[in-house]
């Protein structure tokens, strides 16, 4: 089994536009999300890109993010003319304040590797004493087709992120609401793409993060979307409004019942091992080494959250 290479919590990832210093400050200092990413891509109009870079550098040097919060910057895609300037500006201006660079619309490993190479040069030239990680967004048919190669292309990668809006556009889906179930479709319309991403990320030891649910005032819909992602093994989900944060964190946090059962499984299985048995029955359910691995992951997450 591939071990997880990262320890960051990503139950909730909050998008914050680089065009708004006020929104970025609030996200960094006040909102109880695990990760904030300051955005230079889709939430910033072309005419505001340069100003947004300056805003991000300013807020990163002024703000005091709440303890334990991961700070990321989403640059523009490598197929655009903006990405290199984005990377240079934010890393030169505030590289010591950045934990991750998010790379959108990744179609192939070469795009991640281009960012990795540029990032390594910047870190060396600036004498940074930290290594900035990467997150890759899978948002196109081509990206999904190459997801296994993308997941394994760089040891800086910590997470793959599903982008349902751009993915829907890339394959011709007609639904206009990002992240929502399509009317008339007799199942979970994102199932195939999400499972491909989750399998690739798990095989490479990465986290998997679900994308946004765009209907801000539909918390029931958000809850259903997040619970589906959690049931598929996802580690977290994007939030695009403060009203989604508490619910998102709760869904991706192990419950007391899950923690208690995980502890019991570990205890009973360790006892079985000591007695030379490889599988046991616990409350009418067969428990084996696979169940033990699931239980261990629950306990690891609970420990990171200081729940035990």
Summarised one tens digit per residue, pLDDT across range 192-212 is: 999 999 999 999 999 999 999
Which CATH topology does 12-251 take?
TIM Barrel (3.20.20)
Distance CA(266)–CA(34), nearest Å, equals 28
Summarised one tens digit per residue, pLDDT across range 269-305 is: 788 777 777 667 777 777 777 777 788 888 888 888 8
pTM tops 0.75: yes
What band does 176 get if pLDDT is binned at 50, 70 and 90?
low
**Token output for 79:** 């197929």
Question: 282 with 264: CB under 8 angstroms?
Answer: yes
Distance CA(175)–CA(164), nearest Å, equals 11
Distance CA(77)–CA(95), nearest Å, equals 19
Between 98 and 165, name the one with better pLDDT: 98
Q: Which residues pair with 72 in a beta bridge?
A: 37, 100
* DSSP annotation string for 265-290: HHHHHHHHHHTT-S-EEETTEEE-HH
**Token output for 195:** 């499972």
**Biggest alpha carbon–alpha carbon distance for the chain:** 69
Q: Show me where the domains of the chain are located.
A: 12-251, 256-304
Q: Cα 143 vs. chain centroid, distance in angstroms? A: 16
Q: Which of 15, 12, 97 is nearest to 59 (CA)?
A: 97
Mean pLDDT of 9-25: 96
Q: Is 172 helix (H, G, I), strand (E, B) or coil?
A: coil
Q: Is 137 helix (H, G, I), strand (E, B) or coil?
A: strand
């Amino acid at each position: 089994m591939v071990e997880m290479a990262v320890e960051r919590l990503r139950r909730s990832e909050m998008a914050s536009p680089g065009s708004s210093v006020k929104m970025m400050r609030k996200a960094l200092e006040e909102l109880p999300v695990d990760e904030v990413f300051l955005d230079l891509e889709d939430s910033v109009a072309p005419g505001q890109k340069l100003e947004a870079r300056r805003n991000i550098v300013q807020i990163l040097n002024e703000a005091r993010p709440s303890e334990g919060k991961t700070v990321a910057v989403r640059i523009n895609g490598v197929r655009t003319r903006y990405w290199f300037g984005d990377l240079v500006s934010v890393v030169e201006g505030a590289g010591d304040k950045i934990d991750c660079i998010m790379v959108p619309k990744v179609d192939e490993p070469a795009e991640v590797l281009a960012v990795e190479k540029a990032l390594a040069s910047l870190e060396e030239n600036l004498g940074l004493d930290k290594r900035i990680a990467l997150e890759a967004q899978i948002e196109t048919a081509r990206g999904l087709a190459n997801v296994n190669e993308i997941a394994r292309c760089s040891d800086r990668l910590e997470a793959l992120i599903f982008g349902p809006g751009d993915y829907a556009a890339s394959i011709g889906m007609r639904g206009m609401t990002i992240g929502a179930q399509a009317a008339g479709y007799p199942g979970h319309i994102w199932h195939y793409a999400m499972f491909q991403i989750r399998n690739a990320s798990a095989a490479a030891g990465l986290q998997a993060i679900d994308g946004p649910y765009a209907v801000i005032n539909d918390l029931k819909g958000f809850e259903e979307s997040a619970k589906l992602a959690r049931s598929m093994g996802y580690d977290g989900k994007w939030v695009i409004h403060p009203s989604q944060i508490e619910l998102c964190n709760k869904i991706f946090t192990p419950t007391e019942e899950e923690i208690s059962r995980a502890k019991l499984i570990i205890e009973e299985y360790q006892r079985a091992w000591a007695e030379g048995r490889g599988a046991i029955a616990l409350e009418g359910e067969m428990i084996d080494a696979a169940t033990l691995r699931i239980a261990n992951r629950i306990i690891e997450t609970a420990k990171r959250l200081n729940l035990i």
